[in-house]
Amino acid sequence: MKFVGENIAIGNVLVSEIAEKYGTPTYVYDEEKIRSNFRKVNAAFKKYYPDFKMFYAVKSCNNPAIVNILRQEGAGVDAASVNEIRLAKYVGLDGEDVMFSGNFLSDDDIKQGLESGVIFNLDDISILPRMLKYGKPEILSFRVNPGYGKSNVGEYVTNAGPNAKFGIHPDKVMEAYRLAKEAGIKRFGAHMMTGSCITDPEYFPFVTGLLMDIIGKVSKELQIDFEFIDLGGGLGIPYRPDEEGLDLEKAAELTSAMFVKKCEEYGMRRPQLKLEPARYFVGNAGWIVGRVHAIKESYKKIAGTDVGMNTLARPAMYGSYHHIYVDGKENEKRANIGLCGQLCENTDFWVKERELPESIAEGDLIVVENAGAYGFGMSYQYNGRLRPAEVLVKNGETMLIRKREEFEDMIRHTSVPEYLEK
Ligand code: LLP
């Protein structure tokens, strides 16, 4: 995103042109930014640990065009469900380029996961005997809860430690691999995902040490030659203008050093190192272009826009901050103003008060920053406010990559029993 005079452009296209062509609200992604985000992480980690591979967690933004960009860059897919495995296959990724990390799986999930032939990453020891009823995967990994997690989004996305639902308890990890080995499985990996949006570089080596202390002992006692260790996602981005970003170089250097040190300590042959970032790839490469439709002077001034909690759930769900720009007015005098969407819920009043241009008015365009990750993917249709369009920008050109939903999408898959039609 940049300013052209007073106006805002994404990937060299004015947001006013995007709004004119595609309407609002619209998610806009900058292809070059996604590619350069991927390359930054890849270069940083490969420099310190060359046997390194990344899997894009498609839950963050599942548009096939976006998944294809990351596939072209060399990413595999981290899938949370059978449908996300299908999405990976749809873009041409398969086998060991896909990790299946679902949790609390149904028997059907297990069967289809096995049939899909991707890497199975089991969230608990209890799934193992259920899985073995249906078959044996070629390679198996367990998601370990190493006992600690954290996140800049607070407890909401802290995915390990005593309050998390994810992963195997550390005391059960040895038994899990023992049972899997006894069942005849020959190839193994290990996984964790301890928290999302972390900008402290020291965190990554710390949790790597915790995981490796658990896995190192398993490797020694069961003589398992781990083929990969997957440290999950979690690379954070700054959301507030004054917030510091992650020192990627430092995170990569310290994490690799810890990884190598622990491999040596436990006499492990060096496994492939995997990461599953999502937010870092797409978070700051996506924006929402929305429009102000009404201004209310009430207890305070409120700008009503078409960007509601149905469009971007994060502020209402987690109290997350997303920076907002007003096209053409960023240099104007500011005042404390509220901003909301159009839903009949007060959590939709997602900016209670913020310094915004005082002259904000009907018809103005707003641009919501850092909306690429967990934006569209978490949007929904409440109040008949349907899901927005998605547009990709490249070399100054825009491409529609998902149509805006219409009324037919709202009633699709519903049916009315005949007697109710009378
Ligand atoms: N791997 C697994 C198994 C995951 O569950 C996740 C995200 C990732 C990788 C990618 O994590 P990242 O690099 O984006 O931190 N909706 C929340 C975030 C939930 C994260 C869920 N898991 C938010 O909007 O902040």
Question: What is the structure's pLDDT at 38?
Answer: 98
Pocket test for ligand 1, best of 193, 194, 207, 378 (most atoms within 8 A of CB): 193
Q: Which residues contact 198 (CB under 8 A, 6 or more apart)?
A: 150, 151, 152, 204, 234, 235, 236, 246
Distance 137 CA to ligand 1 centre (A): 25
Distance 197 CA to ligand 1 centre (A): 8
Q: Which residue has the tokens 């296959």?
A: 89
Question: What is the structure's pLDDT at 158?
Answer: 93
Ligand 1 atom 16 nearest Cα: 374
Question: What is the structure's pLDDT at 128?
Answer: 98
What are the sequence ranges of the domains in the chain? 2-29+285-411, 31-282
Distance 353 CA to ligand 1 centre (A): 28
E-strand ranges in 15-93 read 26-30, 52-57, 76-79
Active site (annotated) includes residue 61: no
pLDDT-flagged residues of the chain (< 70): none
Superfamily of chain region 31-282 = Alanine racemase (3.20.20.10)
Beta-strand relationship, 301-305 and 324-326: unpaired
pLDDT digits (tens, 9 = 90+) for 76-127: 999 999 999 999 999 999 999 999 999 999 999 999 999 999 999 999 999 9
With contact defined as beta carbons under 8 Å apart, do 50 and 43 qualify? no
The predicted model scores a pTM of 0.97
Q: Phi then psi for 24, rounded to 5 degrees?
A: -135, 155
pLDDT digits (tens, 9 = 90+) for 152-174: 998 999 999 999 999 999 999 99
> Which class would CATH give 2-29+285-411?
mainly beta
CA 306 vs. chain centroid, Å, equals 24
